[in-house]
Structure 1
Amino acid sequence: MISPLHNTAQQHPLQTAIRLLVRANETTDLSTGNHTQLAASTQANSATKTQTAITTNPAHSAIRPLDISYQQLSLHVSQLAQTLTNSGIKQGDIIAAVASDNVALIHLYWACVDLGCLFFPISARFSAYKVAELLNQHNVAFVYSDIKDFDQQLSTAIMAVKPLDNAKSIIQVINKINWLDLSAYDIAAQKLTTAKLTPSADAQSLPAPTIDINAPQNIILTSGSSGHPKSAVHSLANHIHSANGASSRIALNQGDSWLLSLPLFHIGGLAIINRCALNAAAMVIQQAKCSLSDYLEHAQVTHLSLVPTQARQLLNEALASLSHVKAVLLGGGIIDNQLVHSFLQADIPAFSSYGMTEMSSQITTSHANTLGHHGAVLPHRQLKVVDGMIWLKGECLFLGYLADGKIQRPLDSQGWFCSNDLGALDENQQLTVLGRADNMFICGGENIQPEEIESMLLRHQNVKQALVFGINDQKFGLLPAAVIDYVDGNLAGDTNQALTDMICSQLARFKRPRQYFLWPHNLPQAGLKVSRQQVINALPQQ
C-alpha cells in the first residue's frame, strides 16, 4: 500500500493538510503560500497592533492562516525523500531529529515512511550530552537539528564529561554523523517560501512508493516517569489501527482541524499526525507568540489535546475560545472532578483516556466523568486486569524496545504486555486506573498508592501540581510526603493544614502527608510528564 499521506492527497488533493499561523508583522499571500516580513517601522508597533486587531477587529485579525494542501504536502515529501536518498540514506536507517519546528518534522516523518527509515524525534530540551548518548546508543548516522551549532554543542558536552575514554568513543560516532539540511521547510527560521517549496518536475512525476506498513517505522522514547525512558519502536500499521480505533470514539472528519499542541517526540503528537492524514483533517501549528486562546479563536480549531494545567487555564481565563471546539482530549496528568465539572457546566465536549507509548497512544476513551473511569477499550486493542494489574495486546501494541541494535518485545507466553499500571474494570467494562505499581509503597503494613492521594490534593484550589512519595521512618518504614506546586505560595501553611484535614476525612488518617515540600521549578522537563524521581531527587535531604 501507499502511505496515508499520499492516499489522502490523491483522494482530497485540495484539502488543507497543515494550517500555519504567522506573526502579525508578516504578510501572507494565500494564493501562493508566500509570506514576508513587513518593514522595520511597521514591526516596531506590532505588539500594539496585534492586541488591537484581536480585540477590536477579528475579521482583520493579526493571526492569519497559511495553508498547505495535502497535494502540496505529498509533493514536498516526495521531493524530500528523493533528496534524502541522494544523501545516501537507505531503508532501515535511523534519522534522528532534535528540533522544535513541527513543519519540518512533519515533512521528515512522512519522508521516512516513504523510504522505510526510522524516524527518531528527540526533545530539543534534552542536554547535549543526553542527545549524544542516545545517538551513540542507537548508532545514528543521520541527524536533523534546527539548533544553531548543535554539532559543536555535542562535541563540547561530551568532552566535558568523564571518563574521558568513554567520551572519546562517543565523539567518534558523533563525528561520523551526516547533518541534514531541512532549511527549506523551517518555519521557525521563516524560510518556507513558494520558491523553496515548489516541487521539482522530477518530484511531481514520482509515483507514491509502495511501503511495508508492518516494518519498523519510528522510535519514541517512553515518558520515563521513573527517570529511565526506553526506546519504543512502532510500525505504521500500529499508528493506522490506533487512529482508526480512536476515531470510533472521537469523530474526526474531512475539514476538521486538530491543534498540534503536543510535541512529536511524544506519542500523542505523532498520533495527531496520523489521525489527520487518515481522515483528511488539518493539523494546526502554532508559530506566533500569542496565547493558546487566541489561536483557538482564530485558527478554526475543532479538536485539541490538553494537559490538565492548560485546560484549567483556558476554562478560567478564556472560556469563549473553546465554544466552537468539537472535542477536547485530556491527558498527561490526573483529571480531577472539579475540572470535569467545569467542562460539563460549560457544555464543552471533553474526553479522558488511558494510553501509553507502547500501545501507540490511546487505549480506552470516555467522555470526561466524575465516576473516575476512562471508558471501555477502543477497537484494535485488548485489555484485561489480572490481580489488579493491567495487561494489553492487539494491533496497536508496539514492536518492542530497541536496545543493542535489536528490538526486544517483553510479552508473556500468550502475547500479553504488562503495563505495570494498576486498574479495575466495572460491570460495563469501564476501566479505572489506580496508579503505577512501581509507585506504590508500604507504610506500617498498609499499601499506599500515591496517585490516590495526589488526586485528592489536586481538588484544593491552591494546588496546581502534587506528587506523593515515601520518606524513611524508623517505626513505619515509609511515611507519605507531598510535593506541592501552590497557586499562591503565601498561603502554603494554611493550605497544608487544609490538605491534611481533607485526606484524614475523605481517605484515611494513615495516608495523610507527614511533610510538605515546595515544588522545584528549576528542573528541565523534556516531555509532558515530569519524572517523579527527578522531582524527589531535587528536594532537600529528608
Structure 2
Amino acid sequence: MNVAELLERFPRDDVVVLVDRSATPPEQVTASALRERALRCGAGLAARGLAPFTRIGLLAANCGQYYDVMFGAPAAGLVFVPLNTRLPAETQAYILEDAHVQLVISDAEHAPLVPPDMPHIVIGTAEWDDLVAHEPLSEAAAVDDNDIAVQIYTSGSTGRPKGVLLTHRNVTFTVLEYGAAMPGEVMLVSAPLYHKNASMSSKLAFANGATVVLLGGFTASGYIEAITEHRVTMCSGVPTMFALVTAEIASRVAAGHEVPDLSSVQRAFIGSAPLTEALYDDVQRLLPQAVVSNGYGTTEAVLEFGPHLEGKPRPKISVGHQHPKVELRLVDPDTGEDSDAGELWVRSPGVMTGYHNLPDVTAERLTDGWYHTGDLMTRDEDGWYYFVGRVDDMFVCAGENIYPDAVEQMLEKHPGVHQAVVVPVPDELKGQLPAAFVRAEPGHTLSADEVKQHALANGPAYAHPRHVWIVDEIPLASTAKIDRNGLVARASELVKADSP
C-alpha cells in the first residue's frame, strides 16, 4: 500500500477534511480536493523526469501545501524528506547532501536556507503553480511494502543528524493500527509538520475519516481560538504547548475575562516529551470532560502502546499498555536480561528499516528486528508502562531532543571556550533546559552572555544554554571522566539559588 493511498480511505468525497488556518481567510478542503492536490503534485514531480526513489525535500512552515508534497512525493514513487525549519543553513546543507536530495520545495520564509546550487521551487511562485497544474495521476505509484517512503532526520548521539528510513509498510501499518482518530472527529494540529507528532496526527485523521484543523504555527491564543471556532474534539501536541495554553487561560481569568468554552474537546493526546503529573492534572482541570492521554513514540518506531486489553482504566501518566500488534521487551542495561524495568525494545512492522548510510549505527540499534529505543521504562503488575528517562545523556526540551555532546562541540568552537559541559536543569514549562559549565581559554575574558549569543548564532535556538556558568575547572569523577552527575546536581542547585 502506497502512503498516498491513505487519502483514499475517507468515506465521502464531499466532506471537509482540512481547515487550513495558515491561509487568510482559512481554507476548507474536501477529501476529493485534498487527494487531487496530492496527485497533481505527484504528477508535476513525475513530469520532471525524477527517477523512482529520488529524494524530495520540503522546508516549510505549516501550510495546506505541505500535505500536497507529503503525499504527492510518495504518490509519484519518490521519497519524502521533511526538513526541520529550525536548523541552521549549515545543517540543512549536510542533510540535503547526505540524503542526496534532488529537489527542495520551500516556502518563501525559509527559501534563504536552501543552498543556491540546489534545484528549488518556492511555494506560491509561478514555478510552484506550474508544478501543481498538471493533470492528476490516475493513481498512486505501485510500490513494494519495503520501498522507502519517508526519510526523516533525527539528531544522533554525536549531534550529526541521522536519516531514519521508513517504508510504505512502516508508515501505513502504524497509521492503520494506531487507532487514535475516529470518524467525524475534529483534530487540532499545531506542532510543526516536519515533526512526527503533527505528521502522524494528520495521517491518522485523514485515514480514519476525521478533519484536521491546521495552524500555521503554535500560539496559546491561536490554539484556544481554533478550539472554540471549530468545536475541536481532539487536541494533540507536546507538553509545552499544553502548559502554555493553561497559563494563557489562567492569565485571562486573573484579568477578569471569562474562561473560553473548550467543552467540545473529548480527547487530549500529549506526547513527544515526558509529561509530568502536575501538567496532566492542569490539562484535566482545563478539559474535565476529556480523556487525557500521555503518548509515547519515537521517530524510528511510533507505535508501541494502546489501551489495556481487558479494559482497565489507564493510570494518569502511563504511556499505555502493549499494543497487540507490537512486541515489547524491557531489557536491563547492566545484565541484558528481560525485566520489569529497563530499556524499551520494540519489534513490529512499524519499526524503521535502519539509518541511511549508517550500517554500524543501524547494527547497534536494531537486533533481529528489535529496535533499541534508548528509553528506560518500568512495567507494573497490570502491564502498564511508565517512562523513566534516557539510557544515555540525551534530554528533551519542549519536545526537541538535545544531545549534550553536540552542543558542547558547538560551544567549543568559540575561540574563548576551552571546555564546555552541557547538562539539563528542570523547568516547569519545557520539562528540561540546557545549561552549560564553561572553562575559558587561558588569557581570555568570557561572559555568559557571549556564550549564549554564540550558541544562538551557531545552532538551533532550542539547544542554546539558558544558564551559563564560567568556571576555573571542570570536575572529574573517580573514573577520570567528567563528573556529569555531579554537574547536574550542581546546576540544579545554582538555578534554585538564582530563582526569586
Q: Normalization by structure 1: what TM-score?
A: 0.65
Query: Are residues 1:178 and 2:119 paired?
Result: yes
| Deviating more after overlay: 297-306 vs 410-419 | 410-419
Q: Deviation per CA, 1:302-338, whole angstroms, max 9, x where unpaired?
A: 2221222221232343364532112111123332222
User: 2 CA distance for matches of 1:216 and 1:342?
Assistant: 41
User: 1 CA distance for matches of 2:460 and 2:293?
Assistant: 18
* Match of residue 328 from structure 2: 383
What letter corresponds to residue 73 of structure 1 in structure 2? L
Query: Are residues 1:8 and 2:9 paired?
Result: yes
Decide which structure has the larger Cα Rg and report it. Answer: 1
User: 2 CA distance for matches of 1:255 and 1:526?
Assistant: 45
Q: 1:331 to 1:233 in 2, by over 3 A?
A: same
* Match of residue 312 from structure 1: 243
User: 1 CA distance for matches of 2:206 and 2:361?
Assistant: 27
Matched position secondary structure for 2:104: strand
Q: 1:285 to 1:524 in 2, by over 3 A?
A: farther
Matched position secondary structure for 1:383: strand
Alignment of 1:236-255 (within 5 A): 236-247=168-179, 250=180, 252-255=181-184
Q: 1:147 to 1:539 in 2, by over 3 A?
A: farther
Using the aligned pairs only, state the percent identity.
20
User: 1 CA distance for matches of 2:42 and 2:381?
Assistant: 50
- Segments of structure 2 that go 5 or more residues without pairing to the other structure are 250-258, 333-341, 406-420, 430-447, 475-500
User: 1 CA distance for matches of 2:143 and 2:125?
Assistant: 26
Q: 1:401 to 1:213 in 2, by over 3 A?
A: same
Matched position secondary structure for 1:254: coil
More helix by share: 1
Q: 1:325 to 1:84 in 2, by over 3 A?
A: same
Q: 1:14 to 1:184 in 2, by over 3 A?
A: farther
Q: Deviation per CA, 1:153-204, whole angstroms, max 9, x where unpaired?
A: 555xxxxxxxxxxxxxxxxxx62x3213542799xxxx99xxx99966x43x
Q: What is the total number of aligned residue pairs between the two structures?
A: 408
Matched position secondary structure for 1:403: coil
What letter corresponds to residue 224 of structure 2 in structure 1? S
Query: Are residues 1:300 and 2:242 paired?
Result: no
* Match of residue 205 from structure 2: 276
Q: Normalization by structure 2: what TM-score?
A: 0.70
Q: 1:185 to 1:405 in 2, by over 3 A?
A: farther
Among candidates 369, 390, 410, match of residue 436 of structure 1? 390
User: 1 CA distance for matches of 2:404 and 2:92?
Assistant: 29
Q: 1:528 to 1:333 in 2, by over 3 A?
A: farther
Alignment of 1:442-457 (within 5 A): none
User: Do 2:173 and 2:349's aligned partners in 1 also have CA atoms closer than 8 Å?
Assistant: yes
Query: Are residues 1:215 and 2:147 paired?
Result: yes
Q: How far apart are 1:209 and its partner, in Å? A: 4.0
* Match of residue 509 from structure 1: none
Q: How far apart are 1:357 and its partner, in Å? A: 0.7
Alignment of 1:3-402 (within 5 A): 3-8=4-9, 11-21=11-21, 65-147=26-108, 150=111, 175=117, 177-183=118-124, 202-203=135-136, 206-222=138-154, 227-247=159-179, 250=180, 252-287=181-216, 291-318=222-249, 320-345=260-285, 346-347=287-288, 348-359=290-301, 361-365=302-306, 372-387=317-332, 388-402=342-356
Q: 1:539 to 1:81 in 2, by over 3 A?
A: farther
What letter corresponds to residue 334 of structure 1 in structure 2? P
User: Do 1:420 and 1:438's aligned partners in 2 also have CA atoms closer than 8 Å?
Assistant: yes
Matched position secondary structure for 2:297: strand
- Segments of structure 1 that go 5 or more residues without pairing to the other structure are 29-64, 156-173, 441-449, 459-464, 471-478, 488-516
User: 1 CA distance for matches of 2:461 and 2:178?
Assistant: 22
User: Do 1:425 and 1:432's aligned partners in 2 also have CA atoms closer than 8 Å?
Assistant: yes
